[in-house]
Every structure is written in C-alpha cells, then in structure tokens.
C-alpha cells in the first residue's frame, strides 16, 4: 500500500510562486519531479472552504448556509481521510503556524477528520512528521500557515517591509517542505509515497477594491483562484499537463493513485485528474445561499474558467477576462461589447483605437469570434452551475433567499467602464499633495 502526503501551500498562487521563485528551491525541485497541472483552479477563495471541498470532493458542502460563521459541511461525500482510515491508513493533519496556540478554522471542519496537531515550533513539527512516517501506510496532510498574511507577521520584526515579510515567510515554508522531503528520502519512502502539493488560493492586495482590507475570501478573480498543483508519484511521469483541474478533483485523484476503488456518490463530485477531461472549473467566495456583505464590500460571486478565459458573475453583473493574458483580471473584456438576453455579444467600436487594438480586436474577426464563442460556452456553464446550486438548496428544504438572481447572467458589469476608456487623459485639476512622515524604530 502506498502512503500519501498532501502539502498545503497556504495563500500561494501561481503568481506568488513565480514572483518569489528564489524562495522556493525545495518546492521547485519537487515540481521538477512531479506532474504539474498548469491549468488548476481553486474551488474557493477562502482556506476553510477549500480544505472542505478537497476532503469531500465537491463544492456544495456549505451551500445551504446563509452565513459563514458556524458552517458545518453537509457530508455529501465521506471525507478522504475517513475513507483511508477505513482501509487501514493512519491519518494525521499537521499545522505549522506563526503563533503558538492560535485557533485554526480546520478544527470545525468535520467530525471525521483527525484532531488537528498544531505548533509554531519547526523542530516539533519535523519530529512529529518523522514519527508518523515510521509505520506505513500513512496519510498526512501538512498545512503550513506561515505564508498566511496574519501568520507571516511573526517574521515582520526581521523584515524590511511587507514584501520582504511575505518573501521570508515563503522561504521558511519552503524550508519545511525540504525537511519533510529529506525525511521521506532518508527512510527510503519517496517511491512508495504519493505526494500532492497544491495552493489553496492566492492573495489580492486590494487590486479589485478595498474590501475592508481583506486580501482573500473576496470575489474569485484569477489572481486568487489560479494556483499551483502537482503530483509526485512513481507511477506518474514528471512533466506538465494541459488538463483543466479543480480542488474537488484532488480526493478522487488520490484514491485512484492509491488504487482504492471508492466512488464518490454525490452527483457534482470531482473526478481523477489522471483520467477524463474537465471542460470547466468553478470557483466561488461565499456559499450559494449567502448574501452580499455590505460591511466588507464583498459580493457573492461565482466564476467559471476554461484554459483561456474566466467569466465571473455577481450582483454587479458579468465580467469576462482572458486570464492567461491578464492574470490580474484588470480588463473586463465586456467593456468592448453589448450583450443581449440570449448571451450574444456585439462588438462596440471605440471612438479611437491604436493599431495595436485594431490588430488584436477591432480588425481581427478570429479574435472577436473566439471571444463570443467562449463567452457563450462559459455563460451557459455558469447558468447551469448556479441552477444546480439553487436546486441543491431547495432539495434540503431550505429557501434559497440568498441565492444569486439569474438576471445577473444577462447584465454586464459596467462599473469603471467610463474611467477605463478615459484613463490617461490629462487631469482637470492638480492632484492634492500630501506628506508622509517616517517614525524610526
């Protein structure tokens, strides 16, 4: 029987992994020995939701809840570790955090999960990991919280500023990955262990609005949802995969790699990343029955992505992004179009256009046709997903009072459109000056 180790890269998106590449030598070495999924999207923008969706293999677990506090998973599928326990595995969830004794949301996720073992002491974590890997088969989930913005504050006194603080936290988290890989190698367990490494979500440093200062658990833009995912397994050739993937696919993939024939019964479960082909990946920030948060300035939002585009809807309407060209999701492509009730796009020629825009869009029918085609596909998929979530809520005898109105699939979010086209024009008045004073340490 093969062992399983799942390495959870907290708050690490593909963008973060690239921006701080020098801080991840051990993780990058692991990726070089693994099958890397280049088009993998997180199912949610908050850690608690992501971990639940991973263990239960679906993203409907919280959808009947109308508020975030006190949510408990529905148990549409048994969680992965409960299934492994029934097959003789010793399971453990380890958490390395920045501050001793801090409460983590994992403690309220599922009664079937083993008790969380947490510490802010590196040697204690490594000793525990060493002990757990003495007897096979084992399944260990390692959650390194140091790269969470709140926990990275533990290294703030050693840092020159916020960017350096995040970089140092990344380096420490990577050091932990290196020690655990060395432990498996020293014991001769690497070839008998399936290693899954994934990012739960990225961080958005207020590029889509203040959101009361939140940098994740906000709307599912691609800079948050496009995350690293890789599998190191003796039976899987290293390299890169073009398959589209989602967090909910991790559990069935692990079961397949461990050769455990256990179907996930829920109709909207994920599937193994090593068989079949997913057409769309879905992401959300709130439950399907959780209304907008006026206090945080965050809208309930859902996104659907393929390998090229992401379509997002909220009570503001639709936003459409070419996320490989615009990974930060700064240009809502629908600013260039009108959309009718059937979802047909009509190009709106701007009053002026540089040759670059003409070549990319205005005089490029292949480009415009491709955008219109993908928009239609994604809009239909998103409508079907929202319908399924509403049906799920109602099937459990709960009124879908917080569910997103389907009319927002027919409305374009025009917020910022006028400023988008006027950006760069001379200001009508001089901007006010201000002074910043620095307080020495």
Is the domain of 43 the same as that of 77?
Answer: yes
What pLDDT digit, counting tens, does each position of 86-97 carry?
999 999 999 999
Average pLDDT over residues 114-130: 92
| 189 found inside a domain | yes
Maximum distance among all Cα pairs of the chain, rounded to whole angstroms: 72
- Domain membership of residue 134 as a residue range: 3-284
Same domain? For 92 and 154 the reply is yes
User: Which alpha helices (DSSP H) does 193-338 contain, by range?
Assistant: 222-225, 250-257
Kindly report the CATH number assigned to the domain that includes residue 145. 3.40.720.10
- Co-location of 257 and 133 in the same domain: yes
Q: Does some domain include residue 289?
A: no
- Pick from 248-257, 258-267, 315-324, 337-346: least confident: 337-346
Quick check: is 328 in a domain? yes
Has residue 67 been placed in a domain?
yes
The count of structural domains within the chain is: 2
Q: Indicate the helix (H) or strand (E) that contains 199.
A: strand 193-199
How many Cβ atoms from other residues are within 10 Å of residue 231's Cβ?
23
Q: How far apart are CA 107 and CA 95, in angstroms?
A: 11
Instruction: Please list the residues that pair with 246 across neighbouring strands.
Output: 41
| CA–CA gap between residue 12 and residue 395 (Å, rounded) | 36
Strands 345-347 and 337-339: antiparallel
Phi then psi for residue 205, to 5 deg, are: -80, 65
What burial class does residue 22 get, using C-beta atoms within 10 Å of its C-beta: 0-12 exposed, 13-18 middle, 19+ buried? exposed
pLDDT band of residue 138 (cuts 50, 70, 90) is very high
Pairing status of strand 35-41 against strand 239-246? parallel
> Which runs of E-coded beta strand occur in 272-401?
281-284, 302-305, 310-314, 317-321, 337-339, 345-347
Q: What are the C-alpha distances in Å from 205 to residues 97, 163, 215, 329? A: 21, 11, 5, 13
234 lies in the same domain as 334:
no
pLDDT tens sequence across 307-346: 999 999 999 999 999 999 999 999 999 999 999 888 899 9
Cα angle value 58/303/342 (rounded, 5°):
120
Phi first, then psi, for residue 405 (nearest 5°) are -70, 130
DSSP type of residue 411: -
**Is residue 324 domain-shared with residue 276, that is, in the same domain?**
no
pTM: 0.94
Task: Compute the distance between CA of residue 45 and CA of residue 285 in angstroms, rounded to an integer.
Answer: 5
Q: Cβ distance 94 to 183 under 8 Å?
A: no
Residues 269 and 390 in one domain: no
Say if residue 124 is in the same domain as residue 191: yes
Contact between 215 and 149 (Cβ < 8 Å): yes
Give per-residue pLDDT as tens, 10-40.
999 999 999 999 999 999 999 999 999 999 9
């Amino acid at each position: 029987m093969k062992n399983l180790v799942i390495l959870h890269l907290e708050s690490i998106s593909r963008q973060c992994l690239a921006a701080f590449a020098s801080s991840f030598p051990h993780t990058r070495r692991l990726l070089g020995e693994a099958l890397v999924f280049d088009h993998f999207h997180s199912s949610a923008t908050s850690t608690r939701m992501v971990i639940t969706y991973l263990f239960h293999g679906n993203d409907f677990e919280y959808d009947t809840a109308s508020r975030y506090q006190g949510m408990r998973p529905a148990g549409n599928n048994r969680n992965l570790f409960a299934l492994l326990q029934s097959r003789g595995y010793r399971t453990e969830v380890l958490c390395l955090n920045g501050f001793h004794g801090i409460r983590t949301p994992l403690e309220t996720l599922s009664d079937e999960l083993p008790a969380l073992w947490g510490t802010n002491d590196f040697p204690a974590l490594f000793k525990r990991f060493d002990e757990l890997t003495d007897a096979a088969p084992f399944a260990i989930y390692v959650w390194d919280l140091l790269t969470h913005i709140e926990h990275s504050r533990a290294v703030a006194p050693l840092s020159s500023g916020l960017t350096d603080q995040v970089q140092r936290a990344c380096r420490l988290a990577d050091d932990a990955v290196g020690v655990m890989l060395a432990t498996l190698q020293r014991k001769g367990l690497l070839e008998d262990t399936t290693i899954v490494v994934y990012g739960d979500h990225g961080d958005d440093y207020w590029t889509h609005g203040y959101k009361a200062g939140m940098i994740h658990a906000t709307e599912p833009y691609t800079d948050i949802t496009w995350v690293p995912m890789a599998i190191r397994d003796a039976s899987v050739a290293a390299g890169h995969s073009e398959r589209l993937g989602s967090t909910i696919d991790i559990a069935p993939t692990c079961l397949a790699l461990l050769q455990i024939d256990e179907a996930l019964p829920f109709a909207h479960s994920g599937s193994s990343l090593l068989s079949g082909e997913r057409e769309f990946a879905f992401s959300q920030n709130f439950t399907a029955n959780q209304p907008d948060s006026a206090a945080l300035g965050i809208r309930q939002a859902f996104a659907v992505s393929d390998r090229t585009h992401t379509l997002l809807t909220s009570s503001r309407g639709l936003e459409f992004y070419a996320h490989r060209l615009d990974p930060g999701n700064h240009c809502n492509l629908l600013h260039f179009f009108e959309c009718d009730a059937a979802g047909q796009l009509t190009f709106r020629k701007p009053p002026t256009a540089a040759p670059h825009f003409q070549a990319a869009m205005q005089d490029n029918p292949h480009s415009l046709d491709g955008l219109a085609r993908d928009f239609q596909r994604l809009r239909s998929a998103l409508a079907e997903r929202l319908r399924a979530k509403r049906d799920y809520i109602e099937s459990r005898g709960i009124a879908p009072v917080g569910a997103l109105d389907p009319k927002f699939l027919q409305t374009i979010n025009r917020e910022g459109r006028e400023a988008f086209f006027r950006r760069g024009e001379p200001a009508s008045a001089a901007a006010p000056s201000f002074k910043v004073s620095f307080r020495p340490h």
